[in-house]
Structure formats: C-alpha cells, structure tokens
Amino acid sequence: MTRKEKLRRTLAILFWTGLAVTAGLSCFYVRRSIPDRLNVVVDQEERFHFSLPVRVSLKSESREVVLNNGSNIPSDEIRLQLDEPFSLYSAREGTYQLSLRLFGLFRLKDIEVDVSDTQYAIPCGVPVGIYMKSDGLMVIGTGEVTTEEGQVLDPADGVLRSGDYIEAINGVPASDKQEMIDAVNEAKGEALTLAVRRSGEELDVEMTPVRTSEGDYKLGLWIRDDTQGIGTMTYLRPNGEFGALGHGISDSDTGMLVQTAGGELYETEIMGIEKGSAGKPGVMSGVIYYGGQSRLGTVEANTEAGIFGRAGDRLRARIGGEALPVGYRQDVKKGQAWIRSSVSGEVRDYEIEIQRVDYSTAHKSKDMVIRVTDPELLELTGGIVQGMSGSPIIQDGRLIGAVTHVFIQDPTRGYGIFIENMLAH
C-alpha cells in the first residue's frame, strides 16, 4: 500500500469515526434535552421550546394529541430544529404518547403526554419538624473491635457495607438499634443470621459477635434507625396531601437516600438564623416539639423530589393563603419570580430572579438556577440558607417550583425544582 493510499485510508477512518461520534453525541443531547414526560392542561394549547443541534421529528401516536410547529397546519407529525418552538393540544384528559425520531427515521425514545385539568395547590413556605423511621436498620459503616484478648478485628468488613439495611435478626424483625444491641449480647458469641436488603435485593448474612475488652459483644457495625431535621413545606393540596423540601432526605454519613418506613411532621420553632457567606452556607436553627399534641401530619414517602404525605387537621387549619394554579415547565421563564418563606417569623413573599431553566429531566432537583434579589431577605439570611429547602417558587400567579440547594460559593444563588416533578413523585 502506497503512502498516498495509507493517508486516504486514515482520513476516511477519521471521517467516519468523527461522523459516528457526532451522531452519537447528537442523539445523546437530543434525548437529554427533551423530557420523557410532558404535562398539558386539557383544552389549552401548551407551547414548548427546546434548543436542538439537529433536526428531529415528533409524531403523535394518538389522534387526541395535536401537534403544531408554527405552520398553522395541525398534524400528527412535526419537524423540530434549532430553536423552533412547537405546541401541543388535546381536548380530552388522559395519558398519550409521542415518538421522537432523528431525521424522521431513527426512533430515539417515547415521550409520555399527561393531559389533565388545571391543578391547584396552596404554596406554604412554613417550617416543619421532620422525623422518619428507616425501613430496617441502616448500616452507616463498619469499624474495628478490640477483643478481650487484645486483638483488633473488623468483623463486618467485606460482609456488610454502607447503605445495607438489616431487616431481621434470626428471623425476628429489627427496627430499633437497641433491639440489635440486645440480640447481639443475648447470642453470647453464637452466630447470628441477618436478613439484609442491599440495592433492592434480599440476602442472608451470617455473622458471629465478638466479645470485647469491656465484656460485651459487638459486630463492628455503625447503624442508624431514624433521621430528623427541619425543612420547609412546599405545598398543600385540597385533599390534604403535602410536598416538602424539593429533594430527598439523605443520610449525613453515607449521602444515600434514606429508605423510610414512614414518619411524622411536628411543630417547630426557628430560634435563629446564621447568615450565609462565600464558602459557608447559612443555616436556620430551631427546636422540634415532639409529642402527640405537636404532631402535624404523616410522612409517607422520601424520594429524590422531596418528602410527601398527608397533613393533619391542625396543619391544614394553620396553612393560610389561596390555592394557585400549578405551572408546568413550559410556563417557567427567566426573570422575576418570588419565593414564599417564613424565615422572618411570618409568611412572606421575597423577590428572586430565575437565571437559567433546564427543561430536561437529567437533574430533577436542579431544574432552575435562581438568585435572591430581595434586599430584606439578603439582610436577614444572606440569601438561601439550610432549612429553606422546599420554599415554594411563584411566577405569574402560578406555583412553579421549590428551592432545593444553595451554591456554596455564592449563597445568594441556588437551585430549584419544577413543581411538576414533585407532584409526579
């Protein structure tokens, strides 16, 4: 093979490799840019706008959903490219499907379209105390044990790992740390069979307690059976269902989402606010009043989009304000908006700016970048502080989302979640 032929072959390989990489990246970007799910209000045209690098087409799999991309000729299939907007319309409630195709040929994915009547919810912005029991005993980590002979062992190393949940000990359900301590000591060094849940799978693990230099028995495990804290309630629906936080409650040591067996909301009182600064997020400090008289509701789910449950009569009577229509992602735009919070001791709306909107579903709790612009809130908190997660975001008279995170290096800025992602938990 001559040098010229080798060069031609190398260039051809580079060309086709580059073309394949470009096509792959384009497909990935398009799939990520257009959500897997769209919400539409019945009998109301909804407009969407996604920036796309290549031409794709949307095809309606049902006559109930009408597509339009500005041609004024409704059809069951439209072509999208670059910054071209499009609209959806349906006169009937239900769940329908669109198919997304590259160049009109290659099916990239299916998109679910939920058509429903206008939804309403009361934006809350009030702090609540949260207590949740974990679904089993959560393993935080393993540790070394000094035996009565002076040996240093790590009996759980390689057997259990962080994020495991111990569901039972020798067939007896385990839901309390003290139950585990008692069972280990009662075994007197005999092997125990632990029923463990790991990444959704069930397995049995056999472990033998080690007698320590103090005369008791241990497995070398750090475990946790509950979690608590203060957060902000986002919304209350007419049927008593609530959503809060806008992000899930994760274990402080492992960073993993806590798998919960339920929990309660309690009265809380904010005692003080430490203002945030660059590199040091602020925090709301307070006390939670546990007890039957202070119980406000039940927690039924802990998900990546927040915690959810049902409010009791006392909490429902306490929440004021009118219900607002829910705004979906296509209703959210850059510019002025408001967050509702009671960091001052009373529920107030504070001005913010929505600086960026991510219409994809890649990061469900980071759909918006927001900046606090209200002088009073900046003076009070320095921006967004820990404990404000869940503060509802309101724009154009609609409930559109909730505050979720603060930027460590700039406490005036943070992330927000679309309210539709919370409602779809």
pLDDT digits 0-9 by tens, 195-212: 999 988 999 999 888 888
Q: Encode the chain in three state secondary structure.
A: CCHHHHHHHHHHHHHHHHHHHHHHHHHHHHHHHCCCEEEEECCCCEEECCCEEEEEEEEECCCCCEEECCCCCCECEEEEEECCCEEEECCCCEEEEEEEEECCCEEEEEEEEEEECCCEEEEEEEEEEEEEEEEEEEEEEECCEEECCCCEECCCCCCCCCCCEEEEECCEECCCHHHHHHHHHHCCCCCEEEEEEECCEEEEEEECCEEECCCCEECCEEEEEEEEEEEEEEEECCCCEEEECCCCCECCCCCCECCEEEEEEEEEEEEEEECCECCECEEEEEEEECCHHHEEEEEEEEECCEEEEEECHHHHHHCCCCCEEECCHHHCCCEEEEEEECCCCCCEEEEEEEEEECCCCCCCCCCEEEEECCHHHHHHHCCCEECCCCCEEEECCEEEEEEEEEECCEEEEEEEEEHHHHHCC
Q: What is the mean pLDDT of residues 375-381?
A: 94
**286 forms bridges with which residues in the sheet?**
270
Both structure tokens of 186: 């009662």
**In the structure, what pLDDT confidence band is assigned to residue 83 with cuts at 50, 70 and 90?**
low
For the residues 338-357, what does the mean pLDDT come to? Answer: 94
Angle CA(305)–CA(306)–CA(312) in degrees, nearest 5?
140
Give the CA distances from residue 232 to residues 137, 193, 271, 311, 330, in Å, rounded to whole numbers and listed in that order: 27, 41, 15, 14, 25
Structure tokens, 388: 């404000």
Cβ pair 132, 226 in contact under 8 A: yes
Q: Tell me the Cα Rg of the chain.
A: 27
Closest to 337 in 3D by CA, of 315, 361, 367, 307 = 367
Query: Bridge-partner residues for 224, per DSSP?
Result: 138
122-148 confidence digits (pLDDT tens): 999 999 999 999 999 999 888 888 888
pLDDT surpassing 90 at residue 64: no
- Binned at pLDDT 50, 70 and 90, residue 297 comes out as very high
Extract the tokens encoding 418. Answer: 């679309």
Q: Tell me what percent of the residues of the chain surpass a pLDDT of 70.
A: 89
What's the pLDDT score for residue 87?
86
Average pLDDT over residues 230-239: 94
Q: Look at residue 267 and tell me whether its pLDDT is greater than 80.
A: yes
Where exactly are the structural domains of the chain? 24-116, 126-130+226-318, 144-219, 326-423
Yes or no: say if 199 and 168 are a contact pair by the CB < 8 Å rule.
no
Q: 6-33 burial, b for 16+ CB within 10 Å, e for fewer? A: eeeeeeeeeeeeeeeeeeeebbeebbeb
Burial of 148 by CB count in 10 Å (0-12 exposed, 13-18 middle, 19+ buried)?
A: exposed
Least confident of 81-90, 110-119, 346-355, 411-420: 81-90
Chain mean pLDDT for the chain:
86
CATH superfamily of 24-116: Cupredoxins -  blue copper proteins (2.60.40.420)
For residue 143, give both structure tokens: 């540790």
pLDDT at 379 over 90: yes
Confidence (pLDDT) at 27: 59
Longest dimension (CA), the chain: 90
The per-residue pLDDT for 200 is 84
Its pTM stands at: 0.84
Out of 133-142, 151-160, 297-306, 392-401, pick the least confident.
151-160
Check residues 77 and 378 and name the one with the higher pLDDT. 378
The strand pairing partners of 26, in sequence order, are none
Contact 361, 37 (CB under 8 A): yes
CATH architecture for the domain at 326-423: Beta Barrel (2.40)
What is the pairing mode between strands 324-325 and 120-142? antiparallel
Binning pLDDT at 50, 70 and 90, where does residue 74 land?
low
Residue 415 is predicted with a pLDDT of 96
**Model pLDDT, residue 128:** 94
144-219 topology per CATH: Pdz3 Domain (2.30.42)
Rounded distance, CA 351 to CA 337, Å?
Answer: 6
